[in-house]
Amino acid sequence: MIDIRDLSVVFGSGNLRVEAVKGLSLQVAEGESFGLVGESGSGKSTVLRAICGLAPVSGGTIAIGEKPVSVPRKRDFFATVQMVFQDPYGSLHPRQTVDQILSEPLAIHRMDNRDKRIVRTLTDVGLGPTFRFRFPHQLSGGQRQRVAIARALILDPSVILLDEPTSALDASVQAEILNLLELLRKEHNLTYILVSHDLAVVAHLCDRMLVMRNGTMVEETDTEHLRAGEAKTAYTRALMKATEGFTRAEPATRTELQ
Amino acid sequence: MTGTFERTQTLREWLTDNEPSSRTQARFGRAYLSWRSLSRNPLAMLGLIVVVGLILVAIFADQLATQSPFIGGDLRTERLQPPSAEHWLGTDSQARDIYSRLVHGSRLTLMIVVLVTVIAMPVGLLIGTVAGYAGGWLDSVLMRITDIFLAFPRLILALAFVAALGPGIENAIIAIAITAWPPYARIARAETLTIRNSDFIAAVRLQGASTPRIIARHIMPLCLPSVIVRVTLDMAGIILTAAGLGFLGLGAQPPMPEWGAMIASGRQYIIDYWWVATMPGIAIFVVSLGFNLLGDGLRDVLDPKAAR
């Protein structure tokens, strides 16, 4: 479904030249959920932005469904590939109601049955029609992210790019959103690329994953290897250790401190 | 009594409902909240009363005026009369009733303000948002043009345009509009720069929206509040520029009852017959102050960043 070969993304030129992604290749099958993991600044979000045309592609090829993507992207590309952003507080227009936010893609793509589609999509993401005419400031973070997911879903895409969809939410809401994403993937036969710095989130949602560091591929692995604690590179092991969280060392005794 | 009380209660509940059931309700609810915070500001309400008063006076000028604004009385006996029961604000050098001229002059003032706004605001908004969103050479070209217009003192530039187009109220309006748009373009551009890279604009781009659509439907609505506030605050300046042009004889031509021109005609009598120049001066002052107070109040409502 998604075939990226030797992708590189370069921002700026001269002294300000930054190679955000260097020679990255990945293949994702239809209906698969693929994870991109790495620390901040490893270029994982840039890969997503390059796929959908928000970041410049300086080398390599991107193909969606066997067809190489056009530059600039055409309208049918956006009907196939949609994205959910990290921060639900910044990704919804502050002066538009949920209804306006969801109507806009339908108007751009000249779809019919708009009322029905909006109500159905809202129900799909677990919000229901009572939320339809609210403004974003009347919604909680989790509800906002559901609206953002509904906006990505309303065009019936086959690929959804998820850019840290849960990192701005608190833990209990994170699980809800992850379960919703998993459910939607099964119902709509979606293909996901999930970007996260949290191995636990990726392991929850994805079968295969790619570990990135400084814009390069470190290791491709899958959930089973991860669960078994088998990682080929030291960096992945460090990342796994970081995900386990902060474990308290044995408290120092008073005598030791003295 | 209780019946009406209950109805207003439910109306307020309908407006402040957290789960609006229709587009109209959501829109009215939002407008109601803005209105509520505006009405809590007494000075802004004073400004609003002045502005609404100006509009009402302009509409009902024929009914409110006691005499003709153009045809005066007997030049031998009724010239330069002080305020009295017959002539509330006195008469001018042509024996015309100053009160009636002020009332009819409100139409000219309102026309100037409305037309300048209708011309200058869309131009400034369009140039600012296009420059801010497009960036690159288009931004540079548009902003340098804006800088050129900003570099001239406003009245001088308006004078030059009136001199080129010929004196008259229409040309004065065009000249003021031409000099009024650059600040709006600046504000709209600054506002656009802060939102052009936000996620919700990226999201609309990812839906396949064209650039004109993004600018018109997603960026302009966010720039509009600060531009509206700026326009309201500028209205006093617009009225004063129009009055200045009228005073210099380049705006409204006699016998039109334009306030600035009325001050100019009273200039030569200012020592002995103070009311001729003072009355239109007070009118300009009150209306300008009203617009300024309203603008300040609107800024608090529309632009949450500037609010305390």
Write out pLDDT tens, residues A118-145.
999 999 999 988 898 888 888 999 999 9
Q: Are the Cβ atoms of B217 and A54 closer than 8 angstroms?
A: no
Interface with chain A: mutation pick from B32, B199, B219, highest number of A CBs within 10 Å = B199
**Low-confidence stretches of chain B (pLDDT beneath 70):** 1-9, 303-308
Is residue B3 domain-resident?
A: no
Tally the domains of chain B.
1
Half-sphere exposure of A182 (CA within 13 A, CB side): 13
Residue B24 placed within a domain: no
Q: Does A164 touch chain B (CB under 8 A)?
A: no
> Domain range holding B150?
42-302
Residue B37 falls within a domain, yes or no?
no
**Percentage with pLDDT > 70 across chain A:** 95
pLDDT of residue A252: 61
Residue numbers in A near B21 (CB within 8 A): 130, 133
For residue B25, being part of any structural domain is answered with no
Segment (H or E) for B16: helix B2-16
Under an 8 A CB cutoff, do B203 and A83 touch? yes
Check CB contact under 8 Å for B207 and A105: yes
Residue recorded with tokens 């949290």: A198
Say if B16 falls within a structural domain.
no
Q: Does A94 touch chain B (CB under 8 A)?
A: yes
pLDDT tens by residue, A197-218: 888 888 888 989 999 988 888 8
Please check whether residue B29 lies inside any domain of the structure.
Answer: no
Q: Which residue among A95, A99, A138 sits closest to B18, beta carbon to beta carbon? A: A138
Nearest residue, CB atoms, B21 vs list A104, A133, A151: A133
Percent of chain A with pLDDT over 90: 47
Q: What DSSP string runs through A46-67?
A: HHHHHHTTSS---EEEEEETTE
> What does the pLDDT read at residue B128?
96
pLDDT for residue A160 is more than 90: yes
* Residue carrying the six token digits 């919804």: A92
| Average pLDDT estimate for A244-249 | 62
| pLDDT given at position A129 | 87
Q: Is B95 helix (H, G, I), strand (E, B) or coil?
A: coil
Structure tokens at A41: 């600044």
- Two tokens, residue A63: 């193909």
- In a domain? residue B272: yes
Tell if the CB–CB gap between B202 and A151 is shorter than 8 Å.
Answer: no
Interface confidence, given as ipTM, is: 0.87
**CATH code where residue B268 lies:** 1.10.3720.10
- How far is A242 from chain B, CA to nearest CA, in Å? 29
Tokens 């305390």 sit at which residue? B308
Q: What is the pLDDT of residues A85-120, one digit of tens each?
A: 999 989 999 888 999 999 999 999 999 899 999 999
What confidence tier does A66 reach under pLDDT thresholds 50, 70, 90? Answer: confident
Among chain B residues, CA nearest to A54: B202
Residue B293 within any structural domain of the chain: yes
User: Which of chain B's residues have a Cβ under 8 Å away from the Cβ of A77?
Assistant: 208
Q: Calculate how close chain B gets to A22, using CA atoms only, in Å.
A: 24
Nearest-angstrom CA–CA distance, B242 and B258: 9
